[in-house]
């Protein structure tokens, strides 16, 4: 079983839709949770990071962490064609250095 | 404020040659991480370095791969005697002191072994 599971998609939605991206994990020791966006042939870009259960909002993006279910989500409101990219969840341990990434979900937002 | 810089962006090597990848972290960042990404796969951690020290190399293959982050100059990921299976995108990330989990990535080096 992988430490971090993420559906690779692709996920295709119309412009303006609410997008929900999810990851599950197996190790309850993970403490820090991140979401990255990666455009084709580019480096990942940090979108959100959080270290507690609950919601964190930044503009059109909301990150949600449920540690009891070992489940994290990223919601994108009013999705735009420019949001079309691969979204990677990532997590790490307290005091640790290694970040574990999900395989990424490819998102297509159609105009 | 320049971001993380990597060079070269594209590197072609024949089997058996050496590949040398360079990474300059963001200004003020003293932590560097190297990752490998294969097509349709996520990022795989390779090594974490601070200036002049390798902190965690648990993701690095035991043979042919090495990394350094000297006191002066960029971090270097070196792959000796490359094989076709080494073809991948190699990303470097840096983070500010004390905030290991906010990692900022460079554009990557795409290595092709022919």
Rounded Cα gap, residues A48 and B76, in angstroms: 28
Q: Which of A87, A98, A102 to mutate to test the interface with B (most CBs of B within 10 A)?
A: A98
* Higher local confidence (pLDDT), B72 or A96: B72
Mark yes or no for CB contact B101/A99 under 8 Å: yes
Spatial CB neighbours of B46, under 8 Å, sequence gap ≥ 6: B33, B34, B35, B36, B57, B59, B60, B65, B67, B77
**How far, in Å, CA of A99 to CA of B47, rounded?**
10
Cβ of B100 within 8 Å of Cβ of A34? The answer is no
Judged against a pLDDT cut of 60, whether residue B1 lies above it is answered with: no
Q: How confident is the model at residue B100 (pLDDT cuts 50, 70, 90)?
A: low
| Chain centroid, CA B18 distance in Å | 15
Mutate which: B35, B37, B43, vs A, most A CBs within 10 A: B43
Residue of B40, B58, B106 with shortest CB distance to A98: B58
Q: What pLDDT, on a 0 to 100 scale, did the predictor assign at position A17?
A: 97
**Whole-angstrom distance, CA of residue A65 vs CA of residue A67:** 6
Task: Choose the closest CB to B48 out of A4, A46, A98.
Answer: A98
Confidence check: pLDDT of B38 > 90: no
**Each residue's pLDDT tens digit, A40-60:** 989 999 999 888 888 999 999
pLDDT at residue B99 in the model: 59
Beta strands in A1-111 (DSSP E): 4-5, 11-14, 19-25, 32-38, 45-50, 54-58, 61-66, 71-76, 85-92, 99-101, 105-110
Q: Locate B49 and state its tokens.
A: 């370095």
Average pLDDT over residues B72-98: 93
Of B44, B59, B106, the CB nearest to A43: B106
Which chain A residues touch B110 with a CB distance below 8 Å?
41
pLDDT (average), residues A66-88: 96
pLDDT band at A14 (very low <50, low <70, confident <90, very high): very high
């Amino acid at each position: 079983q992988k430490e971090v599971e993420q559906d690779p998609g692709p996920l295709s939605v119309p412009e303006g839709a609410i997008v929900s991206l999810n990851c599950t994990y197996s190790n309850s020791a993970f403490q820090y949770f991140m979401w990255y966006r990666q455009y084709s042939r580019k480096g990942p870009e940090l979108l959100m990071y959080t270290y507690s259960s609950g919601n964190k909002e930044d503009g059109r993006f909301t990150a949600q962490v449920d540690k009891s279910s070992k489940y994290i989500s990223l919601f994108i409101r009013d999705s735009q064609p420019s949001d079309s990219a691969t979204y990677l969840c990532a997590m790490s341990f307290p005091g640790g250095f290694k970040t574990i990434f999900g395989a990424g979900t490819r998102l297509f937002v159609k105009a | 404020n320049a971001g993380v810089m990597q060079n070269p962006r594209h590197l072609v090597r024949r089997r058996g040659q050496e590949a040398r990848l360079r990474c300059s972290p963001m200004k003020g960042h003293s932590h560097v991480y190297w990752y490998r990404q294969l097509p349709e796969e996520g990022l795989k951690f390779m090594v974490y370095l601070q200036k002049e020290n390798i902190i965690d190399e648990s993701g690095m293959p035991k043979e042919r791969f090495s990394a350094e982050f000297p006191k002066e100059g960029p971090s270097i990921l070196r792959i000796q005697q490359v094989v076709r299976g080494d073809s991948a995108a190699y990303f470097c990330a840096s983070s500010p002191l004390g905030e290991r989990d906010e990692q900022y990535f460079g554009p990557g080096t795409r290595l092709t072994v022919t």
